Chains A and B, each alone.
Chain A
């Protein structure tokens, strides 16, 4: 096994982790501030991807598509918050799970109705096409590197927003005591809508970025949604730092598990069996990790 291949897989894991962070940040923010568990987050990811694909193919500009994905997902998020989520703040988690499960059905079937079952395609913008040489030989897709860059930028931006701005101060205050901040004259409803739209925009951005790597289709958000939940739970619900650490952990674990487990098992087992067992084990790996972490730290790694 060459170092270049290993490095490439590590970067792939990092890229998956960064994308999961974009999803998980919104989920964990919404949970931390409003106490709402939102299964429909994957639908916002899908909306972002669709908006980007449609605008990009209409205008020919990926960048306009990217802006459209942010706007569309944020708008959809704000609408969901005002129409549905707002009624769920005082309800138990069961009602939240059900209502947002219903939203998934509505969004998935709705977009299948509008766009059909055929996937749309989104091209990587010309500037980011091509590959970069890796140390030790081998090439790496420039676009994937750019995704990692966007993820790092968003993570630092979120950090700045939450720890150094007035909005961030209010978000933190809302997390610790929502009655008190409302009593201090902050429009808590508007704050909730903003936080929800912000999380939605991040999910939409993730969807648009990944849409250029995979195809844009109905149901694309669901596998990512479940991974993002694993990330949020591993990191500790409500913690942005936890989401970042959890996302990188899950991204690397999943990618490296799929890459290394069959190879490792091949050392002790016949090749066909090693591939089978390694593959099965690798696809279960992150869930095993999650169960282990929760068994020892029932509130995640960085519980508030």
Chain B
């Protein structure tokens, strides 16, 4: 018999795949969009989970990478649409793989810079300095009028992927779902690798890590950069989903929500972000359907989870995390 966690994980993964298929069959495209939203938010949270879950780096500024990813997609697409070259004669593009590559490179470089400064601090200072960097980028985005400022930047059509018609909900869902699975494979490879072992040691006992000859800063910086790259990719997809890059993607509320996703699901668990995103979007949808004030109840639920249910949804369903 397979372990309970594997069972729960399989059910979650199949459930997310089944909902849109059924929705298409009964002609309810809204649920495809809802599932796509889950997949993208889960992808962003998988990214954060690498830093937060494995490395214990409580980044309160991951919205920065989410938003940069989104703005990259929107800016490249706008330039391609208006046939304006970006700079140095470079053209914009509407091809998703290129957009992802650019978004990931930019997020990686930003994370390298932010991480180099932020990782000198720890604890509350780290939480606050990552928040400060994200705020810096947020205020830059809303006060820079060239790309929409406070209004955000919309995409006239969804970007393209070779051989798929991404304008339709289901093919776009499949793209997002595949990226989510790829990111989860990456997460599990990292967790099982020597690098992952070093990273988890950095969370538990930095001195010991340094004593065996590994520089904790390098390990944490690498994790922070990988984490930002994955979240940035999710941001690019999110802008494509809504056909809109909004400054709210960069706001500190978004950073908080990403942390909430990881914790609701179970931090450091492979399927935690997916469980968290499913739960979150379900709350948003069902509570949001009953009352406009759904965030009030979300707050109560979240408070309950933090105070009484340690380990999140996966902890509840699959028991404590097993090691080894």
Write the residues of chain A forming the contact surface with B, with a CB cutoff of 8 angstroms.
31, 37, 84, 87, 93-95, 97-99, 101-106, 108-110, 112-113, 222, 226, 229-230, 232-233, 237, 276, 279-280, 283-284, 287-288, 290-291, 294-295, 298-300
Given contacts A31-B124, A295-B117, contact A106 B132 (CB under 8 A): no
| Chain B residues, Cβ within 8 Å of A229 | 128, 131
Closest Cβ of chain A to B40, distance in Å, is 21
Closest Cβ of chain B to A82, distance in Å, is 13
Within 8 A of A (CB), among B294-322: 295-296, 298-300, 302-303, 306-307
Residue among B118, B144, B256, B299 with max Cβ neighbours from chain A (10 Å) = B299
Q: Tell whether, in the assembled complex, residue A226 and residue B131 are in contact, meaning their CB atoms are under 8 Å apart.
A: yes
Q: Within the complex, which residue of B58, B267, B299, B302 is in contact with A93, where a contact is CB–CB below 8 Å? A: B58
Closest Cβ of chain B to A171, distance in Å, is 19
Q: Within the complex, which residue of A93, A287, A295, A299 is in contact with B127, where a contact is CB–CB below 8 Å? A: A93
Q: Within the complex, which residue of B120, B145, B295 is in contact with A295, where a contact is CB–CB below 8 Å? A: B120
| Chain A residues, Cβ within 8 Å of B109 | none
Q: Tell whether, in the assembled complex, residue A294 and residue B129 are in contact, meaning their CB atoms are under 8 Å apart.
A: yes
Q: Tell whether, in the assembled complex, residue A291 and residue B133 are in contact, meaning their CB atoms are under 8 Å apart.
A: yes
| Chain B residues, Cβ within 8 Å of A294 | 117-118, 120-121, 125, 129
Instruction: Using CB atoms, name the residue of chain B closest to A284.
Output: B136
| Chain A residues, Cβ within 8 Å of B299 | 102-106, 109
Interface residues contributed by chain B, number (CB under 8 Å): 40
B9 at the interface (CB under 8 A from A): no
Given A105-B299, A226-B131, A280-B140, output 12 extra A-B contacts at Cβ < 8 Å.
A93-B124, A98-B260, A99-B306, A101-B302, A102-B300, A106-B299, A108-B295, A110-B296, A226-B252, A287-B135, A298-B121, A298-B125
Q: Tell whether, in the assembled complex, residue B296 and residue A105 are in contact, meaning their CB atoms are under 8 Å apart.
A: yes
Instruction: Using CB atoms, name the residue of chain B closest to A111.
Output: B296
Q: Tell whether, in the assembled complex, residue A102 and residue B306 are in contact, meaning their CB atoms are under 8 Å apart.
A: yes
B263 at the interface (CB under 8 A from A): yes
| Chain A residues, Cβ within 8 Å of B52 | 94
Q: Tell whether, in the assembled complex, residue B303 and residue A99 are in contact, meaning their CB atoms are under 8 Å apart.
A: yes
Q: Within the complex, which residue of A113, A290, A298 is in contact with B132, where a contact is CB–CB below 8 Å? A: A290
Closest Cβ of chain B to A199, distance in Å, is 16
Q: List 13 A-B contacts (CB under 8 A).
A: A84-B307, A93-B58, A102-B300, A105-B298, A106-B299, A106-B303, A226-B131, A280-B144, A283-B139, A291-B133, A294-B117, A298-B121, A299-B125
| Chain B residues, Cβ within 8 Å of A291 | 117, 129, 132-133, 136
Q: Within the complex, which residue of B118, B125, B260, B296 is in contact with A109, where a contact is CB–CB below 8 Å? A: B296
Give bound CA distance, A109 to B121, whole Å: 34
Contact with A along B52-71 (1 / 0, CB 8 A): 10000010100000000000
Give bound CA distance, A193 to B284, whole Å: 34
Nearest 9 pairs of A and B residues by beta carbon: A105-B299, A109-B296, A106-B299, A102-B302, A287-B136, A283-B139, A102-B303, A280-B143, A298-B121
| Chain A residues, Cβ within 8 Å of B260 | 98, 101
Give bound CA distance, A109 to B300, whole Å: 11
Closest Cβ of chain B to A273, distance in Å, is 11
Given contacts A108-B295, A109-B295, A287-B132, contact A94 B125 (CB under 8 A): no
Q: Within the complex, which residue of A87, A104, A276, A295 is in contact with B307, where a contact is CB–CB below 8 Å? A: A87
Give bound CA distance, A103 to B259, whole Å: 15
Give bound CA distance, A290 to B296, whole Å: 32
B123 at the interface (CB under 8 A from A): yes
| Chain A residues, Cβ within 8 Å of B125 | 233, 237, 294, 298-300
Q: Tell whether, in the assembled complex, residue B129 and residue A84 are in contact, meaning their CB atoms are under 8 Å apart.
A: no
Instruction: Using CB atoms, name the residue of chain B closest to A98.
Output: B306
Q: Tell whether, in the assembled complex, residue B295 and residue A276 are in contact, meaning their CB atoms are under 8 Å apart.
A: no
Q: Tell whether, in the assembled complex, residue B295 and residue A290 are in contact, meaning their CB atoms are under 8 Å apart.
A: no
Given contacts A279-B143, A284-B139, A295-B117, contact A113 B259 (CB under 8 A): no
Q: Tell whether, in the assembled complex, residue B300 and residue A106 are in contact, meaning their CB atoms are under 8 Å apart.
A: yes
Instruction: Using CB atoms, name the residue of chain A closest to B142.
Output: A283
Residue among A105, A276, A298, A299 with max Cβ neighbours from chain B (10 Å) = A105
Q: Tell whether, in the assembled complex, residue A97 and residue B127 are in contact, meaning their CB atoms are under 8 Å apart.
A: yes
Q: Tell whether, in the assembled complex, residue B295 and residue A84 are in contact, meaning their CB atoms are under 8 Å apart.
A: no
Give bound CA distance, A103 to B132, whole Å: 21
Give bound CA distance, A288 to B139, whole Å: 12
B293 at the interface (CB under 8 A from A): yes
Q: Tell whether, in the assembled complex, residue A98 and residue B302 are in contact, meaning their CB atoms are under 8 Å apart.
A: yes
| Chain A residues, Cβ within 8 Å of B296 | 105-106, 109-110, 113
Give bound CA distance, A28 to B183, whole Å: 39
Q: Tell whether, in the assembled complex, residue B58 and residue A94 are in contact, meaning their CB atoms are under 8 Å apart.
A: yes
| Chain B residues, Cβ within 8 Å of A295 | 117, 120
Contact with A along B266-306 (1 / 0, CB 8 A): 01000000000000000000000000010110111011001
Give bound CA distance, A97 to B139, whole Å: 22
| Chain A residues, Cβ within 8 Å of B58 | 93-94, 97
Give bound CA distance, A106 to B143, whole Å: 30
